[in-house]
């Protein structure tokens, strides 16, 4: 690594291996676990030495990890920013140290786009919009108001901001569709359950739950069942991700629709790490290919679903 220094300063590989420092958000969801596995497996496969750090959903831990990577003189830094704001200083430090940075999964709101080489991940606004479009079609013959509750992801995170935006913009033209409550469940099952319990207590008529990820939807299922309601029927459930447990709930008729968000970013990330390390130009934005699932298509896809 960093063969130009001649002293093995680039990480600890001690050979020509690229050293990649990767700061992961945490282990908050099934999606995140699948993403971590994908990154670790792809690094091994690509012959890249991975320095992996789990930030436990805290921005200060991610900043500390990135500073450690800079100090260790890794060849490339990649990270999935827990929130969108507040990265300029540390990204500037990486740039000054001439270490290329790759954003994976989530974006930052830095105005200076030269602080990172590329952003690899999903279009979260589109995921929110696709979720809304399914609902608009599903409720097109509804005569009265359709009351929606929304479980948001981690406050300040790109997927929470963008999914909320995409969904809200798409339903705006349908006055029947009303978001009556919206709160963060932090992308976790426990958060989804706790917030759904409050929603159910405060709102006698809930027709639809829009959860920003499968895990919060799965937590909410427990609260809905405990309240004596039938998930998927009394309350229609839309989620995002399409991890195995979510797909199972959809195939079982407990969820009604999932917009996919693919966690399998590892191979593309390793490819990009090699390219930026070699000084090659890479596209500024690489969008993940995704689909959507209904109860029927989930049944068909489940047997071969990898995660």
Contacting positions for ligand AHR (CB under 6 A): 28-29, 31-32, 105-106, 159, 187, 213, 215, 240-241, 261
CB 293 within 8 A of CB 237: no
Q: How far is the CB of 119 from ligand AHR (least distance, A)?
A: 12
Considering the complex, state which of residue 131 and residue 213 has its C-beta at the smaller distance from ligand AHR: 213
Nearer to ligand AHR, 10 or 246 (CB): 246
Min CB(19)–ligand AHR separation in Å: 25
Backbone conformation region of residue 76, classed left if phi is above 0, alpha if psi is from -120 to 50, else beta: beta
Instruction: Identify the H or E element spanning 16.
Output: none
**Cβ-based nearer residue to ligand AHR, 29 or 110:** 29
For the bound state, the minimum distance from the C-beta of residue 295 to ligand AHR, rounded and expressed in Å, comes to: 20
Write down the least CB distance from residue 297 to ligand AHR, Å: 19
| Number of neighbouring beta carbons within 10 Å of residue 68 | 14
Distance CA(112)–CA(306), nearest Å, equals: 37
Nearer to ligand AHR, 84 or 215 (CB): 215
Is 265 exposed, middle or buried, given 0-12, 13-18 or 19+ CB atoms closer than 10 A? buried
Nearer to ligand AHR, 79 or 134 (CB): 79
Whether 77 contacts 55, CB under 8 Å: no
Least distance to ligand AHR from the beta carbon of 195, Å? 15
Residue placing its CB nearer to ligand AHR in the complex, 150 or 215? 215
Q: Shortest approach of ligand AHR to residue 173 CB, angstroms?
A: 26
Shortest spacing between CB 182 and ligand AHR, in angstroms: 17
Task: Decide: helix, strand or coil at residue 291.
Answer: coil
DSSP-assigned states of every residue in 239-287: EEE--HHHHHHHHTTS--EEEE-----HHHHHHHHHHHHTT----SEEE
Q: Which residue in 111, 117, 17, 12 sits closest to 69, CA to CA?
A: 12
CB-based contacts of 255: which residues, under 8 Å, 6+ apart?
214, 217, 231, 232, 237, 238, 239, 246, 249, 295
- Residue 50 CB partners (closer than 8 Å, separation 6+): 20, 22, 39, 40, 43, 44
Closer residue to ligand AHR, CB minimum distance, 207 or 241: 241
């Amino acid at each position: 690594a960093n063969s130009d220094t001649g002293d093995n300063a680039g990480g600890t590989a001690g050979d020509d291996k690229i050293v990649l420092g990767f700061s992961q958000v945490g282990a908050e969801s099934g999606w995140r676990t699948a993403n971590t596995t994908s990154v670790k497996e792809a690094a091994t496969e690509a012959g890249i030495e991975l320095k992996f750090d789990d930030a436990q959903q805290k921005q200060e831990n991610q900043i500390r990890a990135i500073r450690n990577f800079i100090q260790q003189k890794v060849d490339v830094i990649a990270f999935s920013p827990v929130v969108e704001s507040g990265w300029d200083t540390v990204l500037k430090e990486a740039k000054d140290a001439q270490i290329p940075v790759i954003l994976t999964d989530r974006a930052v709101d830095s105005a200076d786009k030269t602080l990172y080489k590329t952003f690899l991940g999903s279009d979260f606004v589109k995921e929110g919009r696709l979720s809304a479009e399914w609902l608009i079609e599903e409720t097109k013959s509804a005569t009265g108001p359709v009351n929606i509750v929304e479980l948001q992801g981690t406050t300040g995170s790109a997927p929470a901001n963008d999914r909320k935006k995409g969904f809200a913009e798409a339903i705006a033209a349908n006055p029947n569709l009303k978001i009556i409550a919206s709160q963060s469940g932090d992308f976790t099952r426990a958060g989804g359950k706790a917030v759904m319990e409050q929603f159910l207590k405060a709102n006698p008529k809930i027709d639809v739950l829009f959860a920003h990820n499968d895990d919060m939807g799965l937590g909410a299922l427990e609260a809905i069942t405990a309240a004596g309601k039938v998930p998927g029927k009394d309350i229609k459930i839309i989620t995002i991700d399409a991890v195995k447990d979510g797909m199972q709930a959809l195939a079982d008729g407990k969820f009604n629709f999932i917009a996919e968000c693919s966690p399998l970013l590892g191979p593309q990330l390793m490819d990009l790490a090699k390219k930026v390390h070699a000084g090659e130009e890479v596209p500024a934005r690489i969008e993940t290919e995704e689909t959507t699932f209904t109860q029927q298509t989930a049944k068909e896809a489940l047997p071969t679903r990898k995660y």
